[in-house]
């Protein structure tokens, strides 16, 4: 069985971490033990994390733990007090073979970027071998999990000048040439969020001047739209574009 994580990215007027990740009826916290649309795995209890941006600081703040989000009372206490206009949160169900270590929990971070991966590369060793020269070995890319390697690929593309979204699309294309897998990705840089779908679902909603991109809707309000498979979704300000991955260069 392959396990699948849940993640969510937010861009818009400041929201609290609690309001985004804990309070909605099907929040990431609820999804960690009762996901509704998860195709693989049942609980997401092998770690979690949140990254968010604050004024006058390009790098995000990041909080990660190796435990389940629902069992972290400290996070429950601080989450309602922190507000940000750009947030990425993730709960993890470790793919068999990879440890349930804090370093393997998303979001991965480097410079202004946050990143998370939902899925698994089919042959992680082969993908690593084929693409090892394309990776920037930033500290987070060294974690013992396939997602970290994908983050290193993304950082290399971003540092070479790719936009947030085209960098993610490039990672998916790289992995597609090197093997197979499910590689649905989310990223943020403080001013935009982007996601690519490849084998795992993703939804987008525009609501009250904000854009949310998520593995599954966190409430039953109208407006959630599924992003088709193998597409790139990009949000900046309140504008959203969805394009096929092949066209995202």
Told to check if 92 binds ligand GLN by CB under 6 A, we report: yes
Whether 104 is a known active-site residue: answer no
- 95 makes contact with ligand GLN (CB under 6 A): yes
Helix (H, G, I), strand (E, B) or coil at 142: helix
In whole angstroms, the minimum distance from the beta carbon of 248 to ligand GLN comes to 22
Contacting residue, 26, 64, 117, 157, with ligand GLN by CB under 6 A: 117
Q: Which stretch binds ligand GLN (CB under 6 A): 1-9, 164-172, 226-234, 235-243?
A: 1-9
- Mark the segment that binds ligand GLN (CB under 6 A) among 21-29, 111-119, 202-210, 231-239: 111-119
Who's near 231: CB < 8 A, 6+ residues apart?
Answer: 196, 197, 242, 243, 244, 245
Does 145 interact with ligand GLN (rule: CB under 6 A)? Answer: yes
Segment lying near ligand GLN (by CB under 6 A), choices 136-144, 145-153, 169-177, 203-211? 145-153
CB 137 within 8 A of CB 178: no
The CB-of-136 to ligand GLN minimum distance in angstroms stands at 19
Residues 6+ away with beta carbon under 8 Å from 50: 17, 21, 62, 63, 64, 75, 79, 87, 88, 89, 90, 107
3 near ligand GLN, rule: CB under 6 A: yes
Give me the sign of the Cα torsion angle 155, 48, 65, 183: negative
> Which residues neighbour 76 within 8 Å (Cβ) at sequence distance 6 or greater?
18, 22
- Smallest gap from Cβ 24 to ligand GLN, in A, equals 21
Among 118, 166, 197, 234, binds ligand GLN (CB under 6 A): 118
Residues that bind ligand GLN (CB under 6 A): 3-5, 92-95, 98, 104, 117-120, 145-147
């Amino acid at each position: 069985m392959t396990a699948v994580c849940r993640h969510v990215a937010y861009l818009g007027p400041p929201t609290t971490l609690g309001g985004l990740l804990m309070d909605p009826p099907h929040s990431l916290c609820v999804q960690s033990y009762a996901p509704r649309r998860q195709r693989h795995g049942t609980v997401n209890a092998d770690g979690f994390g949140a990254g968010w941006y604050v004024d006058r600081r390009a790098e995000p703040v990041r909080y990660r733990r190796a435990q389940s989000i629902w069992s972290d009372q400290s996070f429950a206490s601080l989450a309602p007090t922190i507000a940000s206009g750009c947030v990425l949160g993730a709960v993890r169900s470790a793919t068999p073979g990879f440890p349930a270590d804090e370093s393997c929990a998303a979001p991965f971070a480097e410079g202004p970027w946050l990143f998370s991966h939902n899925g698994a590369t089919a042959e992680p060793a082969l993908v690593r071998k084929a693409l090892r020269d394309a990776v920037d070995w930033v500290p987070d890319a060294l974690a013992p999990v396939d997602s970290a390697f994908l983050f290193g690929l993304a950082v290399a593309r971003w540092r070479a000048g790719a936009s947030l979204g085209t960098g993610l699309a490039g990672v998916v294309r790289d992995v597609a040439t090197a093997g197979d897998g499910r590689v649905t990705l989310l990223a943020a840089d403080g001013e935009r969020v982007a996601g690519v779908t490849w084998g795992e679902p993703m939804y987008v909603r525009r609501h009250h001047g904000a854009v949310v991109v998520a593995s599954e809707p966190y409430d039953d309000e109208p407006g959630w739209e599924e992003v088709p498979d193998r597409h790139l979704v990009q949000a900046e300000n309140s504008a959203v574009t969805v394009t096929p991955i092949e066209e995202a260069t």
